[in-house]
Structure 1
Amino acid sequence: MTTGQNTVGDVFSAGAEEFHRWSPTLWDPVGEATAGVAALAAGESVLDACCGAGASALPAARAVGPAGRVDAVDLADGLLAIGERRAREEGLANIRFQRHEVTSWPVPGDGYDVVQCALGVFFFPDMDRDSAALTRMLRPGGRFVVTVWEKGALGGWQSALREAVLTERDLPDRPQREQLARIDTADTLAAWLTDLGGSEPRVVRRRFDAPLTPKTGWVLAIGSGTRGMLAGLSPAAVERVRAEFSARLTAGAVTDLDVRVLVGTARFSG
């Protein structure tokens, strides 16, 4: 779920194992929802952009079967290695994990039947420009599938983490937060897909139960993009942030991650 800046890929690579500990209860359900809305058929070709550890790429590979193919592309080496391991364990021979800038990935033949990107487009340096580049990788009539956090999702966990970090440092505005805010409702996501040139936009809402404790909440904090909020802090400062974060989760009785996503899809004529 990383994108076009090496620094973003490095952040996710550094926390790859912590990231993967959340795969069963967070990333994999979101990935399954993404591939489900994509409505993949046997024999189709898929580009999974910002693939991470394969949460949406692996179910895509199962859906398209031996006659299909999935190219899973990311910049986070640590996550790609986990994805490759998972594919081997499942015996999936129709998927390849590649480290590459997704917006300049070489398109095979006439393009992909589906380009999907789960929780990645808002990390792009320019969400509109870079997402448009992905749509141009589709064959005429192909589907672009995007999963984003719904407005308010992860609220209790995210607020506790931000407030804890602010006890040690100022936090600059994060471009990805601003970009996500443009597409975090069903209406705005559908309108954005239309503005990109898509037709027949459809948005599906999914919600998952994800129990949360201070311990698992911290694993997520250092195993996702929020790890970057801690960059440059001393080990002692990071430990103070962890303790403050845990205290805030406990005081706020935050025991659920509040996982809500929107999966949008549209067709592109090429």
Structure 2
Amino acid sequence: MISKEEANTTTAKVFNAASDYFDAPALSFWSRFGQQTIDRLSLHSGHRVLDVCCGTGASAIPAAVCVGSTGQVLGVDLAESLLELGRQKSRQQGLKNIEFRHGDFEHLGLPRESFDAIVCVFGIFFVPDMVAAVRELWRMVRPGGKLAITSWGAKVFEPANQRFWEILETERPDLVKKLTPWDRIRDRASLQALLESGGATQVKVFAESSIHELAAPEDWWTMVLGGGLRGTIDQLDPAARERVRQANLQFLLTNQVQSLEVDVLYAIAQKSHPRQR
């Protein structure tokens, strides 16, 4: 297992690089799944929300809208470039109840039981010790509050994703990952077990299978550049990178792929009041 410092450095580097495409229309799924995560929390005016691995605010901004002017949202991420985009978007929407802060959510030093809801969308699997991460998040949830962890399921933008790795192997087999970070929690049982191992209670996991439409084959390459695959692409020399891009686009064209299958898991845990324990 790599060290936490190495994991943080790698994650920050990848997503700072991906910031130039992160909010492109082809990556509308960030906002879609972020909004759907918030919808499952039943937030109210005045609630305090912590969003870790918040990116550009796909879930933090909808949360800020829900909790209103009397509420407060704190978004935390390792990628400063994404945070700055989030600040710009929140200003454009006139939101004054949201803060985007650079930091490692496992070492924020915030008081225990200080948030009505804590959210982590597509981020928990970047942490080497996920159980310890969940335990720290759960510590900060107030009695009656909720913890939401959203992760990828078995299919993640298929068939394009699998073909991407097959094409990459012809160029740089050393870059091919046999396991992706979320493979550790890619089904309902393993995600539920993670939260319960971290001390979370009343855990419910919901599975969603959906479709992500492509307006054109180039949308897939934009998705590659605007997400976690950017770190792999940036290790290719320009010629190899272009060959991989062309092969990806040709696959989509030849097979007339106009939409991608994607599975998402939503885990919601609720902390009991002391009298209920």
Structure 2 length as normaliser, TM-score? 0.88
What does residue range 176-191 of structure 1 map to in structure 2 within 5 Å?
Answer: 177=180, 179-191=181-193
What code does the residue aligned with 2:186 have?
D
> 5 Å matches for 1:61-210?
61-108=64-111, 110-171=113-174, 174=177, 177=180, 179-210=181-212
Of residues 198-207 and 57-66 in structure 1, the stretch that sits farther from structure 2 once superposed is 198-207
Q: Read off the aligned partner of 2:110 and give its amino acid letter.
A: V
Change (3 A) 1:176 1:49: farther
Deviates more, 1:114-123 or 1:225-234: 225-234
Question: Deviation of residue 110 (structure 1)?
Answer: 4.1
Q: Secondary structure at the match of 1:167?
A: helix
2:267 maps to 1:264: yes
Match of 1:246 among 242, 246, 249: 249
**Inter-CA distance 23–105: structure 2 relative to 1 (3 Å threshold):** farther
The residue aligned with 2:3 is none
Letter in 2 for 1:194: E
Distance 1:189 1:173 in 2: 25
Indicate whether 1:40 and 2:43 are aligned.
yes
Separation (CA, whole Å) in 2 of partners of 1:207 and 1:17: 28
Structure 2 residues without counterparts, runs of 5 or longer: 1-5
CA distance in 1, matches of 2:156, 2:43: 27
Query: What whole-Å deviation, never above 9, does each CA across 1:118-167 have from its counterpart, x for those lacking one?
Result: 01111112222222222222223421101111212322121121112112
Of the structure 1 ranges 10-19 and 65-74, higher mean CA displacement relative to structure 2 is found in 10-19
In structure 2, distance between residues paired with 1:110 and 1:135: 8
CA distance in 1, matches of 2:205, 2:245: 36
Question: Are the equivalent residues in 1 in contact too, given 2:134–2:195 (CA < 8 A)?
Answer: no
**Aligned alpha-carbon RMSD (Å):** 2.2
Cα distance between partner residues in 2 of 1:215 and 1:167: 21
Q: Normalised by the size of structure 1, how large is the TM-score?
A: 0.91
How many corresponding residue pairs?
267
Q: Which amino acid aligns with 2:148?
A: V
Q: Alpha carbons of 1:23 and 1:234: their partners in 2 closer, same or farther (altered >3 Å)? A: closer
Cα separation, partners in 2 of 1:194 and 1:175, compared to 1, 3 Å: farther
After TM superposition, the structure 1 = structure 2 runs for residues 211-230 of structure 1, keeping only pairs within 5 Å, are 211-212=213-214, 213-230=216-233
1:50 alignment counterpart: 53
Give the % identical residues. 34
Which runs of 5 or more structure 1 residues have no equivalent in the other structure? none
Contact 1:165 1:229 in 2 (8 A): no
Structure 2 distance, partners of 1:175, 1:167, is: 15
SS at match of 1:39: coil
When residues 62 and 28 of structure 1 are mapped into structure 2, their CA distance, relative to the original with a 3 A threshold, is same
- 1:166-210 Cα offsets, whole Å, 9 max, x none, are 121024575972x52232222332233222222211122334442
Q: CA deviation at 1:117?
A: 0.3
* Cα shift at 1:217: 0.3
C-alpha separation in 2, matches of 1:201 and 1:208? 23
**Aligned twin of 2:236:** 233
CA contact (8 A) 2:131 2:197 kept: no
Aligned mates of 1:57, 1:89 — CA distance in 2:
14
Change (3 A) 1:111 1:12: same
